[in-house]
Chain A
Amino acid sequence: MSNTSMSNTSMSSTAMSSNTLTVVDREGVTHDLEWEPDQSMMEALRDNDLPVLASCGGTASCATCHVFLEQDVFDTLEECSEDELELLVEAEGYRECGSRLSCQVGFSRDLNGVTVTLTPED
């Protein structure tokens, strides 16, 4: 497992540099952002000025980074930790298939071009 996935792919450096992310904010407005490989999804949202409070700094403690993902994307992700799930089920608008804490979603090539919807604030 010492080889990273990067070493056995041969994508061009521009394609490797970042993902794109489409974000639908709470007013329904769409934003296209770059998602850098060294950012969690929460960081990409927050650092691009989307209103994600992230008041625990990404430690699955606050749920202020709750997002909805499209089901087919959601299904490809690793399962939630217990902490994440506990926070999510109490969150405003929780969806069994779709809700994630964006701080727990790491960068991955497979997530290039996904659409993320910010959840209602509670």
Chain B
Amino acid sequence: MTQNPVVIVGAGHSGVAVAAGLRSRGWEGGVLLIDAENELPYERPPLSKELLKDGASDESAVLRKEKFYADKGIDRLAGVTAESIDRDSRTVLLSDGTRQAYHRLVIATGSRARPLTVPGAGLPGTKCLRTRDDAVELKRLLVPGARVAIIGAGYIGLEVAAAAAARGCDVTVLEFQDRVMSRVTSAPVSRHFEQLHGRHGVRFVFGAAVTSIDGGQRAESVSVADGTVFPADVVLAGIGVLPNQELAADAGLECRDGILVDGDGRTSDPAIYASGDVTRFISPIDGTSQRLECIQNAQAQADRVAAHITGQAAAEPEIPWFWTVQHGVRLQTAGVRHPEDQTIVRGEPSGGKFSVVYLREGRLAAVDTVANLADFRAAKRLIAQGAWIDPALAADPAIPLTEATSGTPNHSDADLAAARS
């Protein structure tokens, strides 16, 4: 191995971006990607979208072509996992029994689907969706007429619900909360997507606490707390993710539902960085502790890590953002909404195109746009600027969002003090 190896554990969105970033920033030492999976690192967003479509290929677009790794001198060890870190000798023990010395170590192990823990969760036919193999297996089960029970109305559950409905399955979504995507969006957006799914034949059961999966050889039904039993040939659990932090935690690095990192992606050991879904950090924008599960964050943190390792300045942080596509309708979110933010709907949801802007102490904090990319772009910029927004102007979709700003705060100092307390 070349001098000064940077060893990257995990070849997902963030790990690959660290490797590419090191090279584009001129790193001349070694770069080694340890990849638990066997094939070329691939894109995850299409797994619950394009890949599940009828007639779509089982391949998910690769993150970088094979040639890229060779051209850039990025070594890959595929089908191998990192088992433990010896911080004193600066080595990582791999599942093939070898040890890799590192100059700097980057943990980009991502997250895994939160497992369903009710009785029967292990029955064949019960799935979660995280890897390409998961997606390909799931797709085989989504045959016309199959009864599909989806547990959890988050992004993954809803994207799968849309794909399953389009493939002619009979789809029921069981959700503990009283609306879809409740963790990430406001009621108007939830209602819109609920109705959209309804029009495509997807049924929702809210307030549903799943108590067991039942069946003989394989899943046959799902039971919920009020005693209702939903027959199901396929059960998909989309109930969130857990950070793959064990490697770091076992090595004594500070973790708290995510590996704690600073603004440069450094963990509590200066020779070890972490990046992507697996990390928790203090947001430079609103000062809250966050663990973000999105491509944007996986890439932005990777850039910060690559910048710090090479002793360069990182790019200006991009506002966190996320997208989902359900039944062909695109929802894009920028910024991180808080439930107590002031919520302003722009446009008429029934028309299919609208946005919801979220104001915090008068400033634009986040936005959800439905089939409205113009607002998305404008909002992203305004959030970055910390722009003050005039709520009346923002409510009028005929006025471009960039013109809905107010030169001064629209709250009195007293309001602000009250909002802060």
List chain A positions with a Cβ less than 8 A from chain B: 36, 38-39, 43, 47, 49, 51, 53, 55-59, 61-64, 83, 86-87, 89-91, 121-122
User: B279-287, B357-365, B371-379: which lies at the A interface?
Assistant: B371-379
Query: How near does chain B come to A31, taking the closest CB pair, in angstroms?
Result: 12
* Cβ–Cβ < 8 Å partners of A121 in chain B: 316
A87 CB contact (under 8 Å) in B65, B67, B315, B377: B377
Q: Is the CB of B24 within 8 A of A91?
A: no
Which of A43, A57, A61, A86 has a CB less than 8 Å from the CB of B374?
A86
CB–CB A83/B330 < 8 A:
yes
Contacts between the two chains (Cβ within 8 Å), count? 56
The residues of A that contact B67 with a CB separation of less than 8 Å are: 36
- Decide yes or no: A39 and B65 within 8 Å by CB, A49-B23, A53-B318, A61-B323 being known contacts: yes
Render B298-309 as a binary contact track against A, CB cut-off 8 A, 1 for contact.
011000000000
Q: Is the CB of B43 within 8 A of A61?
A: no
Q: How many interface residues does B have (CB within 8 Å)?
A: 28
B330/A122 in contact, CB under 8 A: no
Q: Chain A residues near B330: list those with CB within 8 A.
A: 61, 83
Question: Would you call A91 and B377 a contact (CB within 8 A)?
Answer: yes
User: In the assembled complex, how far is the CB of residue A48 from the closest CB belonging to chain B, in whole angstroms?
Assistant: 9
B393 within 8 Å of A by Cβ? no
Top 7 A-B pairs, shortest CB-CB distance: A90-B377, A86-B373, A49-B24, A87-B373, A61-B323, A90-B374, A57-B43
Q: How far does the alpha carbon of A59 sit from the alpha carbon of B381 in the complex, in Å? A: 20
- Whether A83 pairs with B23 at a CB distance below 8 angstroms is no
B321 within 8 A of A: yes
Whether A55 contacts B374 in the complex (CB less than 8 A), given A61-B330, A122-B381, comes out as no
Judged by DSSP, the binding face of A is loop
Question: Which B residues touch A59, using CB under 8 A?
Answer: 45, 323
CB-CB under 8 A from A39, the residues of chain B are 65
Cα separation A42 to B373 with both chains bound (whole Å):
20
Are A90 and B373 closer than 8 Å at their CB atoms? Answer: yes
Known: A39-B65, A47-B68. A53 touches B299 (CB 8 A): yes
Please, which residue of chain A has its CB at the minimum distance from the CB of B318?
A55
Residues of B close to A83: CB separation below 8 A: 330, 373
Residues of A within 8 A of B43 (CB): 57
CB contact under 8 A between A58 and B323, given known A49-B24, A86-B373, A90-B373? no
Instruction: Enumerate chain B residues within 8 angstroms of A63, measured Cβ to Cβ.
Output: 377
Q: Does B295 have its Cβ within 8 Å of any Cβ on chain A?
A: yes
Whether B65 lies near A47 (C-beta < 8 A) is yes
13 contacts between A and B (CB under 8 A): A36-B67, A53-B299, A55-B300, A56-B295, A56-B323, A57-B43, A57-B63, A62-B296, A64-B318, A83-B330, A86-B373, A90-B377, A122-B381
Contact residues in A for B377 (Cβ distance below 8 Å): 63, 87, 90-91
Task: Give 1 or 0 for each of B343-382: 1 = CB within 8 Å of chain A CB.
Answer: 0000000000000000000000000000011101110010
Q: B332 is contacted by which of A47, A51, A61, A89 (Cβ under 8 Å)?
A: A61
C-alpha spacing A49/B68, complex, angstroms: 11
- In the complex, chain A residues whose CB is within 8 Å of the CB of B45: 57, 59
Q: Which residues of A contact B61 (CB under 8 A)?
A: 57-58
How many Å from the CB of B330 to the closest CB on chain A? Answer: 7
Alpha-carbon distance A62/B43, docked complex (angstroms): 16
In the complex, which residues of chain B have a beta carbon less than 8 angstroms from the beta carbon of A89? Answer: 374
Residues of A within 8 A of B68 (CB): 47
B374 x A47 contact (CB < 8 A): no
Q: In the complex, what residues of A have CB within 8 A of residue B321's CB?
A: 55, 62
B323 to A90, Cβ gap below 8 A?
no
| CB of A57 to closest CB in B, whole Å | 5
CA distance A119 to B218 in the complex (A): 55
Minimum Cβ distance to chain B for residue A118 (Å): 14
What separation, in Å, do the CA atoms of A91 and B316 have in the docked complex? Answer: 17
In the assembled complex, the Cα of A51 lies from the Cα of B299 at a distance in Å of 13
Closest Cβ neighbor of A92 among chain B residues: B381
For B63, the closest partner residue in chain A by CB is A57
Contacts of A62 in B (CB 8 A): 296, 321
**CB–CB B296/A47 < 8 A:** no
A86–B400 Cα distance when bound, in Å, is 13
Looking at the assembled complex, report how far the CB atom of A67 sits from the nearest CB atom of chain B, in whole angstroms.
16
